[in-house]
Structure 1
Amino acid sequence: MKDHLLLGIDTGGTYTDAVLFSEIEGVVAKAKALTTRHDLAVGISGAVGAVLDKAQVPVSAISLVSLSTTLATNALVEGQGGRAGLVMIGFAPDDLKRDGLAEALGSDPVIFLPGGHNVHGNETPLDMTALEEALPDLATSVSSFAVAGYFAVRNPAHEQRVRDRIREISHLPVTCSHELSSKLGGPRRALTTLLNARLVSMIDRLIGACEGYLEQRGIHVPMMVVRGDGALISAAEARLRPIETILSGPAASLVGARHLTGLDDAVVSDIGGTTTDVAVLDQGRPQLDAEGAVVGGYRTMVEAVAMRTYGLGGDSEVRINDRGLVARIDLGPRRFMPLSLAAKIHGDAVHAVLERQLRAQHMGRHDGRFAVRTGVPDHLASGLQPQEQALYQRIGAVPVALDSLLTNTLQKATLDRLVGRGLVHICAITPSDAMHVLGRQDQWDCEAARRGLELAARAKDGSGRAIAGSAEELSLKIVDRLTRQSSDVIMAACLAKDGAGAIDPAESLPVDRALQRTSGIVQFRIHLDRPLIGLGASAPVYYPAIAEMLGAESEIPSDADVANAIGAVVGQVRAGVTVFVTVPEEGVFVVGGAGESVRLTDEEAAFSLARERAISTALHTARLNGADEPAVTVSEAIDAPEIEGRRKLVEARFTATASGRPRIASAQ
């Protein structure tokens, strides 16, 4: 057997990981570099360059590149993404109230056009007058468009006409709802399309940065991207449907966890800079969420692993509520740039401010906090309000202290909007800084972390006492809080899998007594029935304590820090297609799905056509997605009850699943 070297890349919110993986030997080399949001190619080149240097192999030895990313997931969790224009065809304004669509839309523009189709594909005439009037202005104020038509899954003609006109006038990316899902449910399909449109520029930049660097290094091989269900798709397909990459990183981590540990039954928890992702492995397979992935509070129509994603990570915001008699610490959901990282990059600009604030006799509201541009391209800052533009102009590539940036209370809300657009980072203390103070991490600037924690420790609670006596004491409280919040989210995911999702571990007194090991006549104990696999760069410092709190065996594989990148290269391409046979009237069988509807008068002929269509479409899609020699399996579900002694067909479903390893360079 010829050995093929596979290059796995995972672009996370804080780090970009690279792994060179041998199909015979396993991990050959691994490396990390900071994710550079202003130019993703810098982080990718840093990680890939380092891994190639470590492995000392020629680039010609690489047969495949596969990419996983948490950028799309993080953007939705943090409420970020480009400004998108939504075009609704045949819908009414009241439809925005369904499925969280209005909340997701926020202040982004929406246009309602008469048109659309009915359940049988018959049209209401399309009127594009409102679109023609709005397009010249929208073309300069949004970065992409989403188009959703009434019953477009039955007839996409109106979506296609609107898409073509928008592209002709604006030359911007356009996503149509029928391209993402064949399921009914217009508002949720519109929501999925809107989120997809917001992510287009981000994923396009990521794939483009990766392709550009590979081209520069002379690596001319197929490139794959991990989908949210753990399967692989070609980079070209991922560019068209970036929404399918939500939960890409977590899905890759599950595939990696299974590969690294060999465990069939486990709870997998992956802590990154921004999020903690929790899923359950049963008999070696992750469960898929049949209802669609939930990310950032929105239920999409994207099939993905049944993964719970929480805004809790090493770079989470530390929120200190000092109004009660005892101060309360909570973490997340927003990601901040750790002070230790900001100081490693910017040095004196951070240290000088922290020193000034420590010398001050009284604590300021914004002590230890800075703002810095993320460095994304200027066109992504389109559509800013005057007050947003004015504040954005005062923030540069070097962190500026909030106590000098913000001159009134209203500017805080303006700054939050700039953060939400992904244009600005807030730099402040995080659990990563606490770990630096405690000596458990040391990759960044420990002194900046200490100064930031000393500033925060000066805050006084409701009784007038300082919330901590030292930076170390506050750091321990922050790490203890991360242990508890992590235990809560892992338990919440497991309880949901057990059908006991109504129990909220963060609010339940019995759970609190069990986790705290509270003594009493009645003893509560918690125990997981399977090991806890901890993944992520900081897994070794966080998960032993979390597993102990949960009464679970801790399993932290040696390559836990790059499990996502490993999962990216050991996965398979997979495509599933379902074709239906329905009976609208006696003796008529309609074959629908994966093509135009066909009416037949023979049941067996209809079944045969449905079966063949499902198989051929699944194989075609798998090959389009990058599979080399896909194999196909078919499952059939026939709903035909006996009524008054006669068999009556209601519906038959034929589902074909084609899967295989991706094409590699030597196989082309």
Structure 2
Amino acid sequence: MRIGIDVGGTHTDAVLMDGSAVVAVAKRHTTADVSTGIRGALDDLQRQRPFLTADVDAVMVGTTHFLNALVEADRLARTAAIRLCLPATAALPPFTEWPQHLRDALHASGHLLAGGHEFTGRRISRLDVAGLRRIGERLGQAGVQSIAVSSVFSPVNAEFEEEAADVLGQVLPDVPVSLSYRIGRIGLLERENATIINASLRLLAEEVAAALHGVVRACGITAPLFLSQNDGTVMDVETVQEYPVSTFASGPANSMRGAAMLSGVRDCAVVDFGGTTSDVGMLRAGFPREATSAVEVAGVPTNFRMPDVISIAIGGGSLVRPGPPVRVGPGSVGYRLSRRGLVFGGDVLTATDVAVAAGRADIGDRSLVRHLDEQLVHDALRDMASRHADAVNSMRTAPGEFPVVGVGGGSALLPERLEGVGPVVRPEHYAVANAVGAAIAQVSGEVDRIFTIPPGRRRQTMDEARQEAVDRAVAAGAAPSSVAIIDEDDIPIPYLPGEATRIRVKAVGDLRIARTRAPEGAIP
């Protein structure tokens, strides 16, 4: 059995799964300390379907801790960025285009040194080791808590980043170092930004990992703990402490993976209808379609793996404005819905009240919304349907109808069909699809870099890239026999010599679990 948990801003959802069957579900309000909400959800699972802790093979958690910390510019480490590049790229130093409040929160400092490579892997200049040592010593005196290292075209040749990590490890043995080639893709500034963000979250990641580990162990569960990452797969706690940035979009990714599993539809649009917003994305072969361009996070352009998602300001707690015309959102009562919504005795007309009045949901006291004008209810539902259809259509890449899977507690507000798109499917347990997605998560390995392909060796180069992706998945914890290639692209780069081609290959496999079993007994 597996336990999947998704810690959202409003609710903490949990499921107990026996194979592919959902045998218990729980939904609790997220608490300020998070641990209390998780413990309550685990207790609810135990009451619904008593189980032995020894029977739990793994616990998978999706969390918004790190994204929230960045958005709120809170609990971030004092971070320095070192770019290995000179004499190139000096015109745009580290932290270019960063919001000032984030720069201030990180006590940001950027440093340029000789180093870097051309796209072919040839060196731009030798690494300035002596200069790197001097910078490291100054950073130590300044109290820097984390360092981000980036080198020009390091996804092609990472030798200087690795060497820099060794040098800094000697000068500052207690300061974590994040390397850009392990985090981002081709594109220096965006990759560097992603690495800086990752570095700023390293200390918080240690705290969060310890807290999550502690609450699971306090419940008597000794099964290994994993955290969800942006592509709908998982990584172990130790990896999360090194790469917290990989968890940013775990919520939407989990919901989409859960939608695929619960509905049985592997190629479709997914609408995750929450309390404040709806996330709209596309599934391809059962996995979220990834964004191919730079993605802004808290106002910072990045290029690490993120699902291609559009968020619209419509949720179960959205305010309904009578108009004319009738408009839903963008304001929302959020987590105060249970106090402010009409069906709960409150004084604010929300999308949930409209759903109850229309008979699409059975929440609260329906008699409190019987007075609502039928045309108002109709127009509000039409507004929500129209805006969701527009969002889905903006994501499509081909004509024709295709299914839409609605998940999340608010998906009851969707019609049976989105005009101009296709039928809406609401599978069983749709309200906790995010926790289901966490519970079924697999392990991935990816290659994304520029290859110089000699004449007649394109097929061999592709095979080598595929094998490297498989090897990375196995190294991350996938069972070797289960690994398969689920996505690949090769894009020739014009005007560059040597048949330069950007090759991207992604492999996914089932999690390989080996653990010491817990003593017999249920959660205390």
Q: TM-score, normalised by structure 2?
A: 0.75
Asked if structure 1 preserves the Cα contact closer than 8 Å seen for 2:132 and 2:164, the reply is no
- What CA deviation, in whole Å up to 9, does each residue of 1:608-665 have, x standing for no partner? 6x57864664344223322123435597959699xxxxxx962467766443210234
Amino acid of the structure 2 residue aligned with 1:31: A
Partner residue of 2:520?
Answer: none
2:415 corresponds to which of 522, 537, 544: 544
1:107 matched to 2:104? The reply is yes
Q: Indicate how the Cα distance of structure 1 residues 22 and 442 shifts in structure 2: closer, same or farther if over 3 A, else same.
A: same
Partner residue of 2:383?
Answer: 484
| SS of the residue 2:415 aligns to | helix
- How far off is 1:51 after superposition? 0.6
Asked if structure 1 preserves the Cα contact closer than 8 Å seen for 2:326 and 2:380, the reply is no
Partner residue of 2:33?
Answer: 39
2:428 corresponds to which of 541, 555, 558: 558
- How far off is 1:431 after superposition? 4.1
Asked if structure 1 preserves the Cα contact closer than 8 Å seen for 2:94 and 2:111, the reply is no
Whole-angstrom distance in 1 between the partners of 2:446 and 2:272? 27
Q: Indicate how the Cα distance of structure 1 residues 637 and 102 shifts in structure 2: closer, same or farther if over 3 A, else same.
A: same
Asked if structure 2 preserves the Cα contact closer than 8 Å seen for 1:15 and 1:33, the reply is yes
Whole-angstrom distance in 1 between the partners of 2:449 and 2:94? 30
Asked if structure 1 preserves the Cα contact closer than 8 Å seen for 2:4 and 2:59, the reply is yes
Partner residue of 2:260?
Answer: 258
1:23 matched to 2:32? The reply is no
Whole-angstrom distance in 2 between the partners of 1:145 and 1:471? 59
| SS of the residue 2:239 aligns to | helix
Whole-angstrom distance in 1 between the partners of 2:242 and 2:414? 37
Asked if structure 2 preserves the Cα contact closer than 8 Å seen for 1:224 and 1:232, the reply is yes
Whole-angstrom distance in 2 between the partners of 1:138 and 1:315? 44
- What CA deviation, in whole Å up to 9, does each residue of 1:449-486 have, x standing for no partner? x9xxxxxxxxxxxxxxxxxxx99869x97996686367
Asked if structure 2 preserves the Cα contact closer than 8 Å seen for 1:145 and 1:173, the reply is yes
Asked if structure 1 preserves the Cα contact closer than 8 Å seen for 2:266 and 2:285, the reply is yes
Partner residue of 2:396?
Answer: 497
Asked if structure 1 preserves the Cα contact closer than 8 Å seen for 2:4 and 2:439, the reply is yes
Q: Indicate how the Cα distance of structure 1 residues 231 and 539 shifts in structure 2: closer, same or farther if over 3 A, else same.
A: same
Partner residue of 2:407?
Answer: 535
Asked if structure 1 preserves the Cα contact closer than 8 Å seen for 2:389 and 2:418, the reply is no
1:118 corresponds to which of 102, 116, 119: 116
Amino acid of the structure 1 residue aligned with 2:34: L
Q: Indicate how the Cα distance of structure 1 residues 544 and 164 shifts in structure 2: closer, same or farther if over 3 A, else same.
A: same
| SS of the residue 2:57 aligns to | strand
Q: Indicate how the Cα distance of structure 1 residues 150 and 471 shifts in structure 2: closer, same or farther if over 3 A, else same.
A: farther
1:179 matched to 2:182? The reply is yes
- How far off is 1:29 after superposition? 0.7
- How far off is 1:156 after superposition? 0.6
Asked if structure 2 preserves the Cα contact closer than 8 Å seen for 1:86 and 1:145, the reply is yes
- What CA deviation, in whole Å up to 9, does each residue of 1:314-354 have, x standing for no partner? 456x698x9xx9799673488854264699xxxxxxx9xx9
Partner residue of 1:62?
Answer: 56
| SS of the residue 1:118 aligns to | coil
2:291 corresponds to which of 277, 289, 292: 289
| SS of the residue 2:3 aligns to | strand
Mark the runs of 5 or more structure 2 residues left unpaired by the alignment: 518-524
- What CA deviation, in whole Å up to 9, does each residue of 1:564-588 have, x standing for no partner? 11112223212122576527xxxxx
Q: Indicate how the Cα distance of structure 1 residues 71 and 624 shifts in structure 2: closer, same or farther if over 3 A, else same.
A: same
**Structure 1 segment 443-458 matched on structure 2, within 5 A:** none
Asked if structure 2 preserves the Cα contact closer than 8 Å seen for 1:116 and 1:151, the reply is no
2:75 corresponds to which of 82, 97, 116: 82
- What CA deviation, in whole Å up to 9, does each residue of 1:202-243 have, x standing for no partner? 554443333212222332223332221222322322231122
- What CA deviation, in whole Å up to 9, does each residue of 1:11-50 have, x standing for no partner? 11111111111116x11111111112x3221111111121
Amino acid of the structure 2 residue aligned with 1:575: G
1:618 corresponds to which of 465, 469, 481: 469
Amino acid of the structure 2 residue aligned with 1:8: G
- How far off is 1:248 after superposition? 1.3
Percent identity over the alignment?
A: 24
Amino acid of the structure 2 residue aligned with 1:492: A
Asked if structure 1 preserves the Cα contact closer than 8 Å seen for 2:385 and 2:418, the reply is no
Whole-angstrom distance in 1 between the partners of 2:362 and 2:90? 54
- How far off is 1:281 after superposition? 3.4
Amino acid of the structure 2 residue aligned with 1:543: L
Q: Indicate how the Cα distance of structure 1 residues 433 and 275 shifts in structure 2: closer, same or farther if over 3 A, else same.
A: closer
| SS of the residue 1:19 aligns to | strand
| SS of the residue 1:289 aligns to | coil
Mark the runs of 5 or more structure 1 residues left unpaired by the alignment: 344-350, 355-367, 369-428, 451-469, 501-527, 584-588, 590-601, 642-647
Q: Indicate how the Cα distance of structure 1 residues 331 and 202 shifts in structure 2: closer, same or farther if over 3 A, else same.
A: farther
Amino acid of the structure 1 residue aligned with 2:415: P
Partner residue of 1:371?
Answer: none
Whole-angstrom distance in 1 between the partners of 2:201 and 2:142? 21
Whole-angstrom distance in 1 between the partners of 2:493 and 2:303? 28
Whole-angstrom distance in 2 between the partners of 1:165 and 1:482? 62
Partner residue of 2:521?
Answer: none
Whole-angstrom distance in 1 between the partners of 2:162 and 2:219? 43
Higher-RCO chain (CA-CA 8 Å, sequence separation at least 6) = 2
| SS of the residue 2:12 aligns to | strand
Instruction: Please report the RMSD computed on the Cα atoms of aligned residues, expressed in angstroms.
Output: 4.7
Q: Indicate how the Cα distance of structure 1 residues 611 and 151 shifts in structure 2: closer, same or farther if over 3 A, else same.
A: closer
Partner residue of 2:513?
Answer: 664
Partner residue of 2:218?
Answer: 216
Q: Indicate how the Cα distance of structure 1 residues 621 and 283 shifts in structure 2: closer, same or farther if over 3 A, else same.
A: closer
Whole-angstrom distance in 2 between the partners of 1:161 and 1:51? 46
Partner residue of 2:239?
Answer: 237
1:631 corresponds to which of 483, 500, 513: 483
Whole-angstrom distance in 1 between the partners of 2:164 and 2:381? 46
Which protein has the larger Cα radius of gyration, Structure 1 or Structure 2? 1
| SS of the residue 1:534 aligns to | strand
- How far off is 1:135 after superposition? 5.0
Amino acid of the structure 1 residue aligned with 2:391: A
The alignment covers a number of residue pairs equal to 490
Whole-angstrom distance in 1 between the partners of 2:227 and 2:288? 18
Partner residue of 1:373?
Answer: none
Q: Indicate how the Cα distance of structure 1 residues 224 and 654 shifts in structure 2: closer, same or farther if over 3 A, else same.
A: same
Whole-angstrom distance in 1 between the partners of 2:362 and 2:143? 47
Asked if structure 2 preserves the Cα contact closer than 8 Å seen for 1:81 and 1:198, the reply is no
Whole-angstrom distance in 2 between the partners of 1:165 and 1:487? 59
Q: TM-score, normalised by structure 1?
A: 0.61
| SS of the residue 2:13 aligns to | strand
Whole-angstrom distance in 2 between the partners of 1:287 and 1:655? 14
Partner residue of 2:329?
Answer: 331
Asked if structure 1 preserves the Cα contact closer than 8 Å seen for 2:271 and 2:281, the reply is yes
- How far off is 1:561 after superposition? 0.9
- How far off is 1:255 after superposition? 1.5
| SS of the residue 2:473 aligns to | helix
- What CA deviation, in whole Å up to 9, does each residue of 1:522-557 have, x standing for no partner? xxxxxx8233321112322x2238x56777533212
- How far off is 1:79 after superposition? 5.1
Q: Indicate how the Cα distance of structure 1 residues 59 and 252 shifts in structure 2: closer, same or farther if over 3 A, else same.
A: same
Whole-angstrom distance in 1 between the partners of 2:402 and 2:336? 34
Q: Indicate how the Cα distance of structure 1 residues 306 and 29 shifts in structure 2: closer, same or farther if over 3 A, else same.
A: same
- How far off is 1:288 after superposition? 2.5
Whole-angstrom distance in 2 between the partners of 1:51 and 1:114? 53
